[in-house]
Structures are given as C-alpha cells and as structure tokens.
Chain A
Amino acid sequence: MSSRSLLIAAAAFGLMALQGPARADVEPEALVEPVAEYKLYVLDNLDAFVGHTRDFTRAIEAGELERAQSLYAPTRVYYERIEPVAELFADLDASIDAREDDYEKGVDDPDFTGFHRLEYGLFKQQTTDGLAPYARRLMSDVKDLESRVQGLTFPPAKVVGGAAALMEEVAATKVSGEEDRYSHTDLWDFQGNVDGSQKIFALFKPLIAEEDPAFVERVEDNFAAVEATLAHYRLAANDPEAGFVSYEKVSDKDRRALVGPVTVLAEDLSTLRGKLGL
C-alpha cells in the first residue's frame, strides 16, 4: 500500500489522530549529534547523581535522620531523569531502584536493597539504624553505574525510545503514588521523568519540526500542561531546588488532570521512533 492510500484508509477508519504522517527522511548522520548531546546530558546527571548519593549515604551512616530524609528525593531526581539508560543495566536497576513489590517477601526480603529499602527505613521506621550496609551498597552501585555508562555506546533507538519509556514510567507508577509510598515524594520523581523525556524530545525535535509541526505543537502543549500542574505543587515557585509537597496533598482532581496529558504524551511519543525511521 502506498503511503497515500494508507492515509486514506486511516482517515476512513478515524485513525487520523493517531496516525503520524509517513516517516521523515532522516539521514542516519543527522542522529549523531543529538545522540552525542544526550550522552553528555546523561553523564552530567550521573556526575550529579554520584555526588548527591555520597551526601545522602553519608548522612545515613552518620545517623542524621532528618538530613537523610531531606536528601532522599533530591538525590533520586538524577536517576529518574536518565532511567531509560540506567535500566539498560538490569542488575544495577534492581539493586538501586527496585520496590518491595518486586520481592516475594517484601521489605523483609534479603535481596531488597537500594533507594526504596532506605526509604522504608527512613520514612516508615523513622530511623537510620541498620541502614548503613544498604547505604554503602547503594554508593558502590551508583559508582558502578557511572563507570558502566561512560563506556556505553548509546543506541539511537534506545535514546529516542527513552522519551516514551519515561512517560510510561509516569503513567504506570507515578500517578498512582506507589513509587514513593513512604516518603510521598512522588512529584520529584515525576518531574525527573518528565525532565528526561522533554530533554530527549527537545534534542530530536529539529529533525521532525518541519515535517510535522502539529505533532510538535501537541507534544509541547501537553508537556506544558503537565508542567503547569506540577508547578502548582512546588514549595517555592521560583526555586526548583525547593521541591514539592507530599503526594498525599495532591487532589484526586489534579491526579486525574495529570493522567490526560501524560497518556497523550505516551501515545504521541510512542511514534517518535517511527518518525525518525528508527
């Protein structure tokens, strides 16, 4: 079927809203620069992630409960931004970011480590007692992640697919508030995923902007809608570092208001690889 008759068929079936135009003619060389820039973005975030993890884990080892609690969410943000890359290393992703649901014995499972094990101790049990071994393990895992990513060749399809993968993360576990169930810092992670997705979209946008301005406009509108709702829950409007209110304070109405643009972004960004011929 020609692309023209495909479009006609699509129109007949009412699929125009989903059906992108035929793929843009993107030369493979055109992908080199954005992929390289993305790697720099990832490495910058990893660098910050290592530094923040160091402060966070030191606070735990020093028994500074309140300081450790306050550093939990700001540290995770860097991981959440680059999650599609971090997840390429399944062993580290499990030891750094698995949730208790991933283990049959839940919080008591000896294999349950990483951020969410520490979250359980810091926010549910309200103590740093017994957490030092988990803190040391997290620090070494995060350093391991950084060195592995430095040597990694970034596959373009994985990089571009990451924009959609991050929105799938948001849709699946952030909106429900199950990611950070003890600290209720889900909005930090939410923002991290959205940041990471937006970065990828921004890097590749020039390659499709001319071919498909309506798509670009819709994606940007929906990112803006998500950002506007998130901004509503910032502790200080002009200070991103100040972070967010507890997810428990987000109204049902706003949770639903987030689902709309997040779902449209997940649908739209799922076509980004196709548009770039990947």
Chain B
Amino acid sequence: MATNQAQKSTFAVKVGLAQMLKGGVIMDVTTADEARIAEEAGAVAVMALERVPADIRKDGGVARMSDAGIIREIKEAVTIPVMAKARIGHFVEAQILEALDVDYVDESEVLTPADDVHHINKHNFKVPFVCGCRDLGEALRRIAEGAAMIRTKGEAGTGNVVEAVRHCRAVQGAIRTLQTMDDDEVYVFAKELRAPVELVRQTKTLGRLPVVNFAAGGVATPADAALMMQMGMDGVFVGSGIFKSGDPAARARAIVQAVTHYNDPKILAEVSCGLGEPMVGIDCRDKNFNSYAARSE
C-alpha cells in the first residue's frame, strides 16, 4: 500500500461538509438538552449560541459566543455536526471555537459585532465558516474572505419570513441578471457588487453561488421551510422558530420532513397538522424595528 499524503482542511473538504448538510435543517440550540431534542427530530446539525435570537431581541445587551463549557456539553450530547456562532470580526472567538473542535463556525450578525468594519480572515482557519448575506455582492465578499458556506440573512428572531425571501430573491435575481450579461460588462457589474471580478465571473459560469447556500432568519413553519427550498435554497437554518414554539419536538420534526418533501403539497399538508402555537412574529416594518441583517455588509 502506498503512503497516503492526507491534506486536511482543503477547501473541497470544507465545502464538502456543507454539501453533506444539503436538504437538511440546522437548528439553534442553547443547551445539551435542546441539542438532543434537535438530533432526535432529524436536524443535520445544531448551532450553539448563548441565547436564541428572539431572546436577544427581547433582552437586548451584547450577545456573544456561547460559553465554551456548554459547547463541550453539546458536542458530547450529540453525534451530528456542531456549529457555533462567533461575533463578526472576533477572530479570537473563532480561534476558541476551532480549539473546541466545532465542525463549522457561523460568523453571525445575530451576535453583537466585535468589528463593525472588518470580517474575520477565514483563510487563516482549519475550521470552515458559514456567513450571512443580503445580496450577491455581500455573499461573494464573504467567499473571498474564505467562507465555505453562505446563508441568506433574513431577520433572525422575528418569526417573519419576509426578509429571508427578500434576500434569497436578491441573490438569485442578481445571478440571473449576471447570466444575461456580455462578458465585457462583468467588470463594471463586479464594481457595483463590490466583489472580486474572478468570483463574479465564476458565478456567471455556474449560474449559482460557488458554495452551498442555506436560508435563514425568520423560518417558523414547515411551509416557510418548503418555501425557501422551492425558491432554490440548499437547506434551512431554524433559530427561535423551534424552541420558542409551543411544541418544539413536534415542530422540529415537521420542519425536517417539509425540507425533504418540499415539492409535495400533500405531504406538507400532513406534516403541518397539530403543531401547537408557532413563535410570536414581529413586523419588520415597525418604526422601532432593529435590523440585525443591516449590521454588516
């Protein structure tokens, strides 16, 4: 047998894990018990954070990376991948998460940004990163910084899917516009997007983002999840929608089924029965509404 030259953490391996998560639901959890409920419901991964976004909105204050001890407990409690959130630009929180062996780091606008100008240079890490975006330019800037997975931001903790839909349409609409362009026009389009021209050109060739793209921010029902899937997303993140609802286990199971059978309205009808109270929703047009999505660009 020849000697194997194993290369760890290549970009293919980082993107590869996201490819294995496709067609799945990633659930926000704050404790090992919640992580067990999520795994039992069929989550493909759990996202560890200090407080779910609905509580961050309610309580205010600075939201940070989860306690390292709780992340360890969550890792011990489940066999599925464990992701965890770091503040935007807080590369030391990311270093700690890497040292804890988390499987993916979410550099997230849901936490209070640590650097309101620069994101983390994600090329410096072995652990892969997922980042949020509201449009194509933002997505490609994050990929240029080393993100191996993208999620459209939506508005976390609102239970309102309208912003998730807006950001999904913004990304895909821009890709469709790009595809109709002459190659000579790509340079100015890249300038307008404020994204590297090479990535813009690659996106034009592929007809999609060059990494896996999940939906996030406001998904609260099986129908919301299937909506994002039918719009072309590769999978969904669900935050407060599960553990702020009346029956988290039942709702989590139903959303998982809805993502698999997103194209089958009969099955969607069946899994949408008797789920109890959904989380309370927030109107994103309210005058006092605090947009998390607008915290970074």
The answer to whether A and B interact is: no
Interface residues of B, Cβ cutoff 8 Å to A: none
Interface residues of A, Cβ cutoff 8 Å to B: none
